Structure 1
Amino acid sequence: MRTTVLACSLALALTTAVPAAAAAPPPATAAPPPAAAAGRPGHVPQAPALRRYAADTWRSIAAMVEPRTGMPSDKVSGDLRTRAKVTSPTNIGTYLWSTLVARDTGLITRGQATDRVRRALDGVARLDHDTATGLYYNWYDPATLAVVRTWPETGDPVRPFVSSVDNAWLAAGLMMVKNAVPGQARRAGELLGRMDLTAFYDPAGRADAGTGLMTGGYWPDKPDGCSQETDYAGTGRTVYSTCHRYGAMSETRIVSYVAIALGQVPAEHYFGLWRTFPDTCDWSWSDQKPEGEWRTYRGVKVFEGTYGYRGMRFVPNWGGSMFEALMVNLVVPEETWGARSWGRNHPVFVAAQIEHGMNEAKYGYWGFSPSNDPAGGYREYGVDPLGMDTDGYTSDEERTSTDPGFGDCRPGKPDPERYGDGVVTPHASFLALRYAPDAALANLAALRDRFDSYGPGGFYDAVAVRSGRVSREYLALDQGMVMGALGNALAGDALRRYFTPGGPQRLLRPVLGLEEWAVRRG
C-alpha cells in the first residue's frame, strides 16, 4: 500500500548541471535533553537557520531542473552535477510549490518564479497523458518529455501506469499555482480542470460501510501480475486497476482529499478510510489489537480505533513513517480543521518517533521515513509499532521489527534486545518542525555536526547513524517536503493558504471537523 513514486530505486542521468558553490551551514546549537522534545505548535525558532536551510535546499531543487524543458528530474547527485533521467507527476507538483516558497522567502524574484512556473506548465501541457481523463503516467523523461518505457539504469521495460497518488500531488500543485500566480492561474486551471480523479474511485471499496475507496491506479494495458478489469470512469472502456485499495490514513489520503475538494467524489468517502482495522480476530493479521468503538458519520460506520506505544495512544498510518503522517499536512491544515482528531494525533505521532529514536532504540537521533538507503538503493523506513502493517517499516538496516500480538487472536513476541544501524532522514525532522520545533532543529544540528551530512544543496538524503554512512543524493520528493515545511514556517503557512481556498474549505473542511479521536500522549 505504498505509492508508485516510492516503488523504484531511481536511476541517475548522464547529463550534467553546473554546481553552485557550497554554502556554510547554519551555526550549530546544542541538542536539548529528550524531555525537551515536545516544543509547542506554531513556535518558529531560529529563523536565520531556517532561511539558510531554505536557500541551500532550493539550490538542490534548482539543480534538478532540466534546462531544455524547465521540468524537474527525480533527483540529483550530491555535487549537484548529475540529474536523473526520469521524473514523475509528484516531482512536478513539489517543484511547483517549492518555486512558490522560493519566491515567498525572497530566494528568487516574483518574475523568476512566474517564468519557472510557466515553463513547468508548458511542459505539463506537452506530456503524453490519458486524454479521456487528463491523468498522467508515472514516469517521464524530463529532457524529452516522453513517457519512460525503458528504465534508464537497467534497460528493464516500464509498463505505463497511471498512479492515483502521483496525480493527486500534481493536482495539488496546480491548485496552489491557480491561487498563487495570477499570470498562470488560467493555465493551471485548464490543466487541473481536465484531471478526473473519479477514474480511481471504486464505489464498492467499502461496501460494508456504504462508501468507496481509491485504487492505487491503473494500467491502460493488462500487466503481469494482479490487476482488476475496471469500467474506466463509466465510459465502457476497460482498464486494469490495482488489486489493492487505499484504506489506511497514510500519505495516500491526499488523493481522497483532492478528489473531495474538486467535487469529484462524495465527501462521505473520507469516513471509509480506516483509522485502524477493527478489533476482532478477522483482522488479527494487522500489527496490534486496537482500542476503539464504532460511530456513524454522515451515514458511514467508522471504527475509531487507536494503537498504543510506550504509554501513548494514536491513530497509526500504514508503515509508521513520518512521510505518511505529515506530508499531506504541508498543504491541508489538518490540525486546525480536525482539531479533535488530527490536531491531537500529529503531536503524539512526532513524540512517538522521538521516543523510539532517543529512548527505545537509543540511536541518539530520530526521524524515520522512506528515503535512500545509505547502503544503496531506496527503502521504506519507519517505526514499526506506529504502523498498521504487521511487517511494518523498520528504523534500521537490519530490519529489526516488533510484534505486540493481537490479544488472544495472535500471541506477541518479545521486544528486540537491541536495534542495529538506524537510518535517519532529515526530511522527517523538517516535517516535525510544526509540532516539535526545538527538538527538530536540535536533531538536524546534531546530524550536521556529527556526520558528513550537509552539502551544497542542504542536507543529504539519509544517514545511517551507527556506521556513519551517508546517502549523498538529493531527492525531489524529499527536498520538496523540506522546502514545503520551511515555506510554511517562514512565510505564514504559504502552501496552506494557496491550497485551501474554494473546494477544500467548502467540501473537505466540514468532514475533517466531525470526529474526536481518543488520542493521548501518555
Structure 2
Amino acid sequence: MRNSVRTVLVAALATVLLAPLSASADLETERRGHDQTLERYAADTWRSVRAMVVPRTGLPADNVGGGLKASSRAAYTSPTNIGAYLWSTVAARDIGLISDRAAHRRLARTVHTVAGLDRHEGSGMFYNWYSPTTGAKLRTFPTDGSTIKPFLSSVDNGWLATALLLVSRADPSLKRQADAIRKGMDFGCYYNEAEGQGGQIRGGFWDEDPQESAAVPGDYCGLGTDVWYTGHHYGAFNTEPRMASYLGIASGQIPAKHYYGTFRTFPNDSCDYAWTETKPVGSWRTYTAGGEKIDVFEGALPYRGTHIVPTWGGSMFEALMVPLFVPEEKWGPRSWAVNHPRYVRGQIQHGLKEAKYGYWGFSPSNNPAGGYREYGVDQLGLDGPGYTSDQERTTVDQPFEGCPDRAGSPAPTSYGDGVVTPHASFLALRYAPKAALANLAKLRRHFDAYGKGGFYDAVAVRSGQVSKHYLSLDQGMVMAALGNALAGNDMRRYVAKGAMESSLHPLMKQEVFAR
C-alpha cells in the first residue's frame, strides 16, 4: 500500500535502474527512510487533528493552540473544517494510525451531527460558521462579538461535499447517510450561465438581505425566492473553487461547458486586462463540451524562463489542494501534468533564488505576528497585486507590454521576512518529493517549528517568529497528502471515480495549456 512516494521517486530517478546493485540498495534505504519520516509526520499531525474535535458532536474547531489543550480550541468551525476532519480520519485509518472500528465511530458521529446542522432549505447548502460544541449556526462571531450575516460559500460547501463523497466510498456502512446529505446539495444554485462563454460560479450567497451594495439578488436554481449573491464570480481557472465546479459537473447540476468558462489568463490583445499580473503568452483553441464548441484563450504567464497558468493570488493552496482528490495531471497530460510541476518549481525558485529566503512554500496561513493572512508568489498570480511572500508585502510591478499605463517598475532588490507554511510542502510532495522533504527537514532543524501535533502553522524565516497553532484546514491538507503518499493514493481512489471520472476526464484530456 505504501508505494505512492516510492513510485514518484523512482520516476524522478529512473536512471538509477542502470546503476550497480549497491546503488539500488542505497535507493531502497532512502525510500524506507522517506516513508518512516512521513509516517512520523502523519502520526503527529493526526494528534493535532484529534485535539481539535469536540467528542460529543464530532465537529472540529477551526484551530487549536500548540499545546493541544481542549481549552485552546476555537469556538467556531466551518464546512471546510468538517470536511478536512472527515478525510483526515479516513487517511489515519488507511495509514494504520487507528483501527477500522475507531475510524467508523468517529465518522459516524460526525456524519450524524452534519445531518442535523441548520442549512439552506432550497439548495441544501451549509452556512459558513457553526459552533463545534453544539452544532448551532453562529450569528455572532466568538472572537470579537461581530454580527454574522448567514452566508453559504461555494468553496466551503465544495470541500464538505468532497469529504462526504469520500466517506460514502471509504466506509460503505455510512454510504446511505453521507450520500443523502451530499445529493441534497445543489451546486447549480451558484452557477450563472450568463457569465462568460461557459458560465461561472458565484462566491456564494446570503439567504437574508445582507444590506451590502455589491450583493446581487437572483435565483439560479429555480427556488422561486431570491437569495443575495456575492458581486463577484470565480473567473480564474486554476484556483480552489474548481472543486465545487467539478462536483457540480459530475452531478449534472452544472453543464460540462463550465469547465472552459473560466480564464486560464485573460486574452493578451487588449489593455483592458493590463490590471492583471503581466502580459500572457498563448493562443486560442476550440474544445468540445456537452456537444458545444467553446473557444478558450490558452494563456500562461512567463516566470523565470518558463510559462505557467497562474492561480488568482499565487499561493500553493489554490493550485494544489484540488489534485489531492482529483488526478488532474493524469487526466490532463497536456495541461495539468505540465502545469503542476512548473507551479511547484516556481514556488521553489522564488523562495531559494529570487527572494533568497533559504526556504519555500507560500500559501494562506496564520500570520506569525498574529491573525491570518494570504501568502503567495506575486508573479504566479493572475491578479496584479497578488499575494506576497513576506511580511513587508513586497510586490513585483511587471510591465504589460504595449500598454503605456503599465510600464512596470524595477524588480525588488530584496525581500523582507518571508512567511513559509509547512502545508505548502506537503501539497508539493507528489511533484517534488525530495525538495519537499528537504524543505520540511530544514524548517524543523532551524526553527522551533514542530510540536507534538506536527508542524506548527507558519514560520517567518528571517525573524524566526513561529505561529504555534494548528488549523483544521491546513492540517487536513497535510493528512490528505500523507494519505495519498502512504496508502496508495487513497484520497484520490475514493473521490475520482464514477461520474467524476466520466464527466471530467474527457474535458481535461483534450486541453492543451500554453507552453
- Cα pair 2:188 2:220 within 8 Å, conserved: no
Could you list the per-position Cα deviations for residues 236-278 of structure 1 after superposition, in whole angstroms to 9, with x for gaps in the alignment? 2010000100111211111111111111111111001110011
Of 185, 203, 218, the residue aligned with 1:195 is: 185
Provide the rounded CA distance (Å) in 2 between the counterparts of 1:437 and 1:122: 37
Could you list the per-position Cα deviations for residues 219-245 of structure 1 after superposition, in whole angstroms to 9, with x for gaps in the alignment? 011113210010251122010000100
Q: Which residue of 2 aligns with 1:447?
A: 443
Q: Which residue of 2 aligns with 1:163?
A: 153
Provide the rounded CA distance (Å) in 2 between the counterparts of 1:482 and 1:108: 17
Q: Which residue of 1 aligns with 2:295?
A: 301
Provide the rounded CA distance (Å) in 1 between the counterparts of 2:453 and 2:250: 34
Offset of 1:40 from its aligned partner?
Answer: 6.5
Secondary structure of the structure 2 residue equivalent to 1:246: coil
- Cα pair 1:39 1:438 within 8 Å, conserved: no
Provide structure 2 residue ranges, at least 5 long, that are not aligned to the other structure: 1-8, 15-29
Of 132, 136, 139, the residue aligned with 1:146 is: 136
Question: Going by fraction, where is helix more abundant, 1 or 2?
Answer: 2
- Cα pair 2:243 2:322 within 8 Å, conserved: yes
Q: Which runs of structure 2 are paired with 1:123-272 in the superposition (5 Å)?
A: 123-206=113-196, 209=197, 211-225=198-212, 226-248=214-236, 249-272=238-261
- Cα pair 1:263 1:503 within 8 Å, conserved: no
Offset of 1:393 from its aligned partner?
Answer: 0.2
What amino acid is the match of 2:497?
P
What amino acid is the match of 1:345?
N
1:386 maps onto 2:380 in alignment: yes
What amino acid is the match of 2:174?
Q
Seq. identity, %:
57
Provide structure 1 residue ranges, at least 5 long, that are not aligned to the other structure: 1-35
Could you list the per-position Cα deviations for residues 78-110 of structure 1 after superposition, in whole angstroms to 9, with x for gaps in the alignment? 000111111111111111110000000110000
- Cα pair 2:425 2:440 within 8 Å, conserved: yes
Q: Which residue of 2 aligns with 1:10?
A: none
Q: Which moved more, 1:100-109 or 1:248-257?
A: 248-257
1:51 maps onto 2:39 in alignment: yes
Offset of 1:518 from its aligned partner?
Answer: 2.5
Secondary structure of the structure 2 residue equivalent to 1:134: coil
1:65 maps onto 2:31 in alignment: no
What amino acid is the match of 2:312?
W
- Cα pair 2:158 2:241 within 8 Å, conserved: no
Classify 1:104/1:237 alpha carbon distance in 2 versus 1 (closer, same or farther; 3 Å). Answer: same
What amino acid is the match of 1:277?
F
1:373 maps onto 2:370 in alignment: no
Of 495, 498, 502, the residue aligned with 1:502 is: 498
Q: Which residue of 2 aligns with 1:111?
A: 101
Secondary structure of the structure 1 residue equivalent to 2:195: strand
- Cα pair 2:458 2:466 within 8 Å, conserved: yes
Q: Which runs of structure 2 are paired with 1:297-336 in the superposition (5 Å)?
A: 297-298=287-288, 299-336=293-330
Of 451, 456, 460, the residue aligned with 2:456 is: 460
What amino acid is the match of 1:61?
V
- Cα pair 2:329 2:335 within 8 Å, conserved: yes
- Cα pair 1:40 1:435 within 8 Å, conserved: no
Provide the rounded CA distance (Å) in 2 between the counterparts of 1:364 and 1:439: 12
Provide the rounded CA distance (Å) in 2 between the counterparts of 1:336 and 1:452: 38
Q: Which residue of 1 aligns with 2:418?
A: 422
Classify 1:393/1:40 alpha carbon distance in 2 versus 1 (closer, same or farther; 3 Å). Answer: farther
What amino acid is the match of 1:110?
D
Provide the rounded CA distance (Å) in 2 between the counterparts of 1:344 and 1:518: 10
Q: How many residues align?
A: 479
- Cα pair 1:39 1:439 within 8 Å, conserved: no
Could you list the per-position Cα deviations for residues 132-162 of structure 1 after superposition, in whole angstroms to 9, with x for gaps in the alignment? 1211000000111111111111111111100
Secondary structure of the structure 2 residue equivalent to 1:463: strand
CA RMSD of aligned residues (A): 1.4
Provide the rounded CA distance (Å) in 2 between the counterparts of 1:200 and 1:490: 36
Provide the rounded CA distance (Å) in 2 between the counterparts of 1:50 and 1:39: 18
What amino acid is the match of 1:159?
K
